Amino acid sequence: MSPSDETATPRRSLIWRRQDDASFEHFRLYDAPGGFDLVGRVIVAEQGKPLTVDYRLRACNGWRSREVEVTQNYDGVTRRMQMAKVDDQWWVGAHDRLDLSSCMDIDLAVTPSTNVLPIRRLGVAVGASADIQAAWVQFPSLEIVPTPQRYERLDERRWRYSGLSTDFTAELEVDEDGLPMEYEGIWTRIANLPPLGGGAA
Domain ranges of the chain: 12-193
Q: What does DSSP assign to residue 125?
A: P
Q: Which of 1-10, 33-42, 116-125, 169-178 has the lowest mean pLDDT?
A: 1-10
Between residues 123 and 115, the one the model is more confident about: 115
Instruction: Check pLDDT > 70 for residue 4.
Output: no
pLDDT, tens digit (0-9, with 9 covering 90-100), for 84-111: 999 889 999 999 999 999 999 999 999 9
- Given a contact cutoff of 8 angstroms between Cβ atoms, the answer to whether 82 and 90 are in contact is no
39 Cβ contact list (under 8 Å, min separation 6): 4, 6, 10, 27, 28, 29, 30, 55, 56, 57
Are 109 and 119 in contact by the 8 Å Cβ rule? The answer is no
Cβ 114 vs Cβ 56: under 8 Å: no
* pLDDT score for 149: 97
pLDDT for the residue numbered 5: 55
Return the minimum-mean-pLDDT range out of 41-45, 83-87, 116-120, 165-169. Answer: 165-169
Using pLDDT thresholds of 50, 70 and 90, give the confidence band for residue 198: low
pLDDT per residue over 53-62, tens digit each?
A: 999 999 999 9
Euclidean distance between CA atoms 9 and 75, whole angstroms: 33
CA 59 to CA 27: how far, in whole Å? Answer: 15
Contact between 183 and 160 (Cβ < 8 Å) = no
d(CA 28, CA 39): 5
Q: Are the C-beta atoms of residues 88 and 96 closer than 8 Å to each other?
A: no
